[in-house]
Chain A
């Protein structure tokens, strides 16, 4: 698992990465009430806004962590946005991205480095 400074976690599944947000981020957001997911088959560039999360407090963006193509999105979140608070590391993944260049992951933090960042 890799982590971004934007509190996203990235899990590699073959040539895909699965993207979600950390427990810390979910806690900071508060109760999530709406998730706007990207379309599949969308090409994204690292840093593009990919997902909008609306919590009881405000809207926040999740950015694409790497260049690639969105190949799957988690439709469960449309009906049950609260999953982001209940199961941020599991059931509440946002999208899967087919990565152009896996070496783009190299710059991201491992778990220890992320834990240090939020401590």
Chain B
């Protein structure tokens, strides 16, 4: 087994009593002493600090020097309007493959003269290789190896971060801004993966422990592990790459049409021109045979990933994420079902250890998100 990597906050995790597990090649905190349930609820009520330094940060800079050229280049790999992104703004995107499947999901921020991409830890090597293979004629692709990434999420996140960096109070959802903390250059976005208002903050590696210590000294801020990160994102209806989306799922099947702006769709000025466009544009017009939906088990038994879904005796789908929702106080799942059974309110069953238990198709998110728009 290859050696696990550690993030720059490893010592902090240990000192905070984290239980560490292997995740995407890193030794990561799955929970701290309070446990998943309390950490989840703390984030919903106060503010949670997450180490997401395992994720990939990549700068894409056009050789011409103009950010528009970098954006136009990236548009050849994603079905998203990158050219339409204003300076200082961030957007969700997807790398697609020729078959119309999803290679990874990512965040793209437009800075003054470059794009900043944040990609999943488990995909970052492939993503960087994909960028190099396809864009290196027009762009310089620079993986950022001297910065850590933390997320501060929850209703108290703004007030807490503003104690260190007052200007964050002026940011709104999906803003991307460079700000200083005692001379330390921070790359901040107002976004996250919990359904809460909050921030993701890229911090130079040698300063991140001090930065995290300052945040944790604020009484509303507690460290939160990957366990709660997963239940928070699932309540928020957000996909986990590798579970809910992968190379076998198209953006339309995954109900991610909202991420594909009109300008990239049939009839738009920059329609198509990304891998898998034939299938994805067709599915945008005609729909797909299956669809990602929320699924609420009607008993207390959670329905985990892999649970088969039935309409009567007919198998109609599979659960891709399932857990107990601490804020919902009930089990929750998401998964794919045949489109004719994807209407909200449709009553289906899930096979849990050989028993057919009732489950109802539900809208996502399970819990309204509280972004500062």
Contact = CB atoms under 8 A, between A and B. Distances in A.
Interface stretch (A9-17, A53-61, A63-71): A53-61
Contact of A34 (B30, B227, B301): B301
Contact of A56 (B37, B300, B301, B353): B37
Nearest to B300: A34
Contacts of B227: 30, 56-57
B324 A56 contact: yes
B36 A56 contact: yes
B353 A34 contact: no
Contacts of B35: 30-31, 56
B294 to A, nearest CB: 18
A30 B302 contact: no
A58 B231 CA distance: 12
Interface residues of B, number: 16
A75 interface: no
Interface in A10-59: 30-31, 33-34, 36, 52, 54, 56-59
B324 A54 contact: yes
Given A34-B302, A34-B324, A78-B300, A56 B331 contact: no
Interface of B: 30-31, 35-37, 227, 231, 300-302, 304, 323-324, 326, 331, 353
10 contacts: A30-B227, A31-B35, A31-B36, A31-B37, A34-B301, A34-B324, A36-B301, A36-B353, A52-B353, A56-B326
Sort A-B residue pairs by CB-CB distance and give the 6 closest, nearest first: A33-B324, A31-B37, A56-B36, A34-B300, A54-B302, A34-B301
Given A33-B324, A34-B324, A52-B353, 16 more contacts: A30-B31, A30-B36, A30-B37, A30-B227, A33-B302, A33-B331, A34-B300, A34-B302, A36-B301, A54-B301, A56-B36, A56-B227, A56-B323, A56-B326, A57-B30, A81-B300
